[in-house]
């Protein structure tokens, strides 16, 4: 390939911001001698008091057409030995640079108050972002962690750009009261603010590029699949189970979800019953027509509470009659298996494609060493399957990625965006 996509990343853990910037710039420019079209920077909230200095210092040493980034309580990147490393709750700076021939890179900052309402036509969202759907853009999105409009943004972008992949995360901090940092530079609008505290910064990538996704929600199903027969807003009121007998489908009488759940838990092993005390989730099937539901077919949502009087269960998403749900458990072992299965599947599906050039990782604050009891698990497992692919990212307050063709804000998830040439 005459002019391939090239990608480089460097991670620094130096406590001085100036020294960290000098180290990552020196290493990525050494690995990427051609002009950089896109930069992505992730900075530890340990440097939060110096957020305003980040972009001016980078621009003094770095020549790049578009640069976006955000702050995080944990930072992910490639250390000097070429190994992926996750630095949690300590100073760290990760810089990715990409040379993207025949790729259009369009940067934007979207304020919550500028978003169209959800009744608006697709053109309202297209005009806001500034990229035509005909260009089939792929999106990287970084948002403030207190935004109540992020779900509206994801729905609007799915409406305007169906089939486009969208990945990213919400900025995070390692202490209460630390302000968000969203960073933005575009050479076409050099006078724009470089530091935002609210909204969403992002890039739309169009042309000779593919953004593949892996969304590891880290759960396993328990019990049967049930159909929602009665629900209101985010409250499950009645469930039924469907059984196929003699070629016909028979539906059992509806029961309160809490009664159903008690039956499910009674049939678990003792270890799983203990796990269900604090690691129980609801999976909502995304494909209404798929008969045999399996790995990756469910959108995982939190259980928020129960009403023992009527047997209702509140969950972290809207529900409607006809949807299929299944209870799920999450633990470290399940999270490991889930990610490995998804990486194996991705490897199989892309065996005949061009090599991946670079990748981004958006991981939940609830994963990492706190979940696995060891450092760097997700990032180094990724490297086992996609070796020599520079990886950068951060630990998020919410992860953005697709399930079943729609984009969602997740929790307890690791989302990977993998870039390769068409």
pLDDT digits (tens, 9 = 90+) for 331-376: 999 999 999 999 999 999 998 888 999 999 999 999 999 999 999 9
Task: Match 């978003």 to its residue by tokens.
Answer: 115
- Res 202 pLDDT > 80: yes
pLDDT, average across residues 93-98: 98
Q: What is the pLDDT of residue 287?
A: 79
CA nearest to 113, candidates 67, 147, 159, 88: 147
The percentage of the chain sitting over the pLDDT mark of 70, rounded to a whole number, equals 97
C-alpha to C-alpha distance for 294 and 243, rounded to whole angstroms: 17
CA nearest to 158, candidates 182, 133, 178: 133
- Res 88 pLDDT > 70: yes
Token pair for 298: 């469910």
Residue 367 and residue 412 in contact, taking contact as beta carbons nearer than 8 Å: yes
Q: How many CB atoms lie within 10 A of CB 265?
A: 16
Q: What is the pTM of this model?
A: 0.94
Strands 138-143 and 74-78: unpaired
pLDDT digits (tens, 9 = 90+) for 99-127: 999 999 999 999 999 999 989 999 999 99
Domain ranges of the chain: 6-216+335-420, 220-329
Residue 421 and residue 210 in contact, taking contact as beta carbons nearer than 8 Å: yes
Find the DSSP H helices in 80-213.
Answer: 122-129, 150-160
pLDDT digits (tens, 9 = 90+) for 254-274: 999 999 999 999 999 999 999
Token pair for 25: 């710039």
- Res 184 pLDDT > 90: yes
Residue 131 and residue 122 in contact, taking contact as beta carbons nearer than 8 Å: no
Strands (E), 233-262: 235-240, 242-245, 248-251
- Res 171 pLDDT > 80: yes
The DSSP element (H or E) to which 347 belongs, if any, is helix 332-349
Residue 258 and residue 379 in contact, taking contact as beta carbons nearer than 8 Å: no
pLDDT, average across residues 295-303: 89
Q: Which residues of 30-60 are buried (b: 16+ CB within 10 A; e: fewer)?
A: ebbeeebbbbbbbbbbbbbeebeebbebbee
Q: What is the pLDDT of residue 352?
A: 87
Task: Match 């539906």 to its residue by tokens.
Answer: 251
Task: Match 């799983």 to its residue by tokens.
Answer: 272
Q: How confident is the model at residue 233 (pLDDT cuts 50, 70, 90)?
A: very high
- Res 249 pLDDT > 80: no
């Amino acid at each position: 390939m005459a002019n391939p996509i090239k990608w480089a990343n460097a991670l620094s853990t130096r406590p001085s911001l100036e020294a960290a910037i000098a180290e990552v710039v020196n290493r990525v420019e050494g690995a990427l001698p051609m002009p950089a079209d896109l930069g992505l920077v992730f900075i530890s909230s340990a440097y939060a008091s110096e957020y305003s200095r980040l972009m001016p210092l980078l621009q003094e040493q770095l020549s790049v057409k578009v640069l976006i980034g955000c702050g995080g309580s944990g930072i992910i990147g490639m250390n000097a030995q070429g190994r992926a490393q996750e630095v949690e709750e300590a100073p760290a700076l990760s810089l990715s640079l990409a040379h993207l021939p025949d790729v259009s890179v369009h940067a934007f900052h979207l304020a919550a108050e500028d978003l169209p309402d959800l009744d608006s036509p697709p053109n309202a969202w297209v005009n806001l972002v500034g990229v035509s759907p005909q260009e089939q853009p792929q999106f990287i999105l970084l948002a403030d962690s207190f935004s109540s409009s992020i779900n509206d943004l994801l729905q609007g972008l799915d409406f305007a750009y169906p089939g486009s992949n969208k990945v990213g995360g919400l900025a995070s901090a390692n202490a209460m009261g630390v302000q968000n940092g969203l960073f933005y530079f575009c050479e076409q609008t050099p006078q724009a603010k470089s530091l935002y505290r609210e909204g969403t910064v992002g890039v739309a990538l169009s042309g000779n590029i593919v953004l593949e996704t892996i969304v590891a929600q880290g759960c396993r199903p328990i019990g049967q699949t049930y159909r929602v027969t009665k629900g209101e807003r985010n409250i499950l009121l009645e469930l039924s189970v469907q059984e196929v007998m003699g070629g016909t489908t028979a539906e059992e009488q509806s029961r309160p979800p809490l009664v159903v759940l008690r039956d499910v838990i009674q049939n678990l092993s003792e270890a799983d019953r203990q796990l269900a005390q604090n690691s129980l989730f609801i999976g909502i099937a995304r494909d209404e027509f798929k008969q045999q539901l399996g790995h990756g077919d469910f959108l995982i949502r939190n259980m928020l509470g129960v009403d023992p009087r009527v047997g209702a269960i509140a969950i972290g998403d809207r529900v409607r009659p006809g949807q299929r749900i299944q209870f799920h458990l999450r633990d470290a072992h399940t999270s490991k298996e889930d990610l490995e299965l998804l990486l194996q599947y991705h490897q199989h599906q892309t065996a005949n494609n061009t090599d991946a050039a670079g990748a981004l990782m958006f991981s939940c604050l609830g994963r990492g060493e706190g979940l696995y009891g060891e450092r760097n698990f997700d990032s180094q497992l990724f490297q086992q399957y996609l070796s020599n692919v520079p990886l950068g990212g951060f630990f998020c307050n919410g992860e953005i990625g697709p399930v079943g063709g729609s984009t969602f804000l997740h929790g307890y998830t690791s989302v990977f965006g993998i870039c390769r040439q068409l």
